[in-house]
């Protein structure tokens, strides 16, 4: 059995760099063996101070490196499919940042490749499942503590968007988290999606309509809505309010400390996802490493990646026509049942 995961991190941008720090400083049982970025200078900067790590410009070279026995993919979503298929062929543990891929067809190819391999190798980076508050709400739902879950209200607000963030990416890159969260909370597939475009902020870059209101239904008729607002300026906020037969549960509000001083009271707004979900990323990556070291894979699967990609596809269509669009899913392979 492998004693240490020697991880190749593909993509040394905002998220890849954060995961490299986590793998080399806080995660037990794993080391960074290689960092790959088309911008080699970025890869070189990212391995500084990490003994034994090499910087490369080509993902395939890292996968063929005998010192590498696992891969963490943190390139932009449209590049995931190619690296995933090559990593599956190597039969090594894979942590793929969300989205698995941006559309259902390419995600299905990844599912098919894993099914052909005969065992699971991919964990998708839906880190919210590892957040303490998400876990707590999930257990209220699963244990039926407040009766049946009836509705979910989500807010997903980012301070601003990086260059090149398209209108479709409000769905593919951001609401994809809520697609997974709603499936995680309800244990059901999402059946339909509608997107309403109302009054828009002047702060959105050209081509983006921001905010958007996404309305969803699940198999048993749970209704959910998402306010996606990615140029909200004031800070980062991800919240959910769940309505049950016997009560309401809210998660994701502002965290302390609450200070009163010099004639003022208040606290600080969370600036970004690193601060809001830092602990969840640590738990996510540690559980990937722990499972991989015992020859297993846990957490969100390639099926979850595919199902959320199918939601994204329906969501992007709904963005264009304003209609309620049905989510089309292939039959679930036995590997994921
Ligand atoms: N889970 C989360 O909360 C979260 C947060 C942010 C980003 N993400 C995801 O992480 C991924 C990366 O996002 P990011 O914000 O770090 O992007 P980024 O643009 O900051 O970084 C991407 C990096 O990949 C590199 N790259 C591009 N093509 C490459 C190739 N062919 N081979 C190797 N490297 C290549 C780029 O040079 C860049 O350094 C995306 O899938 C994104 O959706 C997830
Ligand atoms: O890639 C990021 C990341 O996934 C964040 O968690 C999310 O809040 C952003 O909207 C998205 O653009």
ipTM (interface pTM): 0.99
Q: Cα(108)–Cα(52) distance, rounded to whole angstroms?
A: 36
pTM, two decimal places: 0.97
Phi, psi of 270 (to 5 degrees): -65, 125
Phi-psi region of 246 (alpha: psi -120 to 50; beta: other; left: phi over 0): alpha
Specify the DSSP element, H or E, that contains 218.
Answer: strand 212-218
**Is the CB of 13 inside a 6 Å radius of any atom of ligand 1?**
yes
SS3 call for 324: coil
pLDDT digits (tens, 9 = 90+) for 278-318: 999 999 999 999 999 999 999 999 999 999 999 999 999 99
Separate counts of helices (H) and strands (E) for the chain: 10, 15
Q: Whose CA is nearest to atom 3 of ligand 2?
A: 174
CA 174 to ligand 2 centroid distance, Å: 5
CA-based nearest residue to 30, from 1, 7, 64: 7
pLDDT digits (tens, 9 = 90+) for 128-171: 999 999 999 999 999 999 999 999 999 999 999 999 999 999 99
Contacts of 161 (CB under 8 A, 6+ apart): 169, 204, 205, 208, 230, 231
Nearest ligand atom owner, CA of 83: 1
Q: Whose CA is nearest to atom 1 of ligand 2?
A: 173
CA 290 to ligand 2 centroid distance, Å: 25
CA-based nearest residue to 308, from 2, 76, 97: 97
């Amino acid at each position: 059995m492998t004693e240490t995961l020697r991880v190749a991190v593909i993509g040394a941008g905002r998220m890849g760099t954060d995961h490299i720090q986590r793998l080399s400083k806080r995660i037990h049982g794993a080391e960074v063996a290689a960092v790959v970025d088309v911008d080699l200078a970025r890869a070189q900067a990212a391995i500084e101070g990490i003994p034994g790590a090499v910087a490369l410009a080509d993902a395939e070279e890292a996968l063929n490196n005998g010192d590498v026995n696992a891969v963490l993919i943190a390139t932009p979503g449209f590049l995931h499919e190619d690296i995933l298929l090559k990593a599956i062929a190597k039969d090594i543990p894979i942590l793929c940042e969300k989205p698995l891929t941006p559309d259902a067809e390419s995600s299905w190819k990844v599912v098919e490749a894993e099914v052909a391999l005969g065992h699971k190798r991919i964990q998708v980076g839906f880190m919210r499942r590892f957040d303490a508050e998400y876990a707590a709400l999930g257990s209220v739902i699963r244990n039926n503590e407040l009766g049946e879950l009836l509705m979910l209200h989500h807010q997903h607000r980012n301070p601003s968007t990086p260059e090149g963030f398209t209108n479709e990416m409000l769905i593919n890159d951001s609401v994809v988290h809520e697609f997974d969260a709603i499936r995680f909370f309800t244990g059901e597939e999402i059946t339909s999606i509608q997107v309403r475009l109302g009054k828009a902020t002047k702060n959105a870059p050209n081509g983006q309509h921001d905010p958007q209101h996404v309305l969803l239904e699940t198999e048993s008729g749970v209704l959910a809505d998402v306010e996606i607002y990615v140029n909200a300026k004031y800070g980062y906020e991800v919240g959910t309010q769940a309505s049950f037969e016997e009560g309401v549960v809210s998660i994701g509000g502002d965290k302390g400390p609450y200070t009163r001083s010099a004639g003022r009271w208040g606290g600080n707004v969370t600036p970004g996802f690193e601060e809001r979900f830092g602990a969840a990323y640590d738990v996510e990556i540690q559980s990937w490493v722990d499972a991989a070291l015992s020859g297993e894979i846990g957490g969100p699967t390639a099926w979850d990646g595919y199902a959320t990609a199918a939601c994204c596809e329906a969501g992007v269509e709904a963005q264009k026509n304003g209609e309620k669009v049905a989510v089309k899913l292939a039959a679930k392979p036995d590997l994921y049942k």
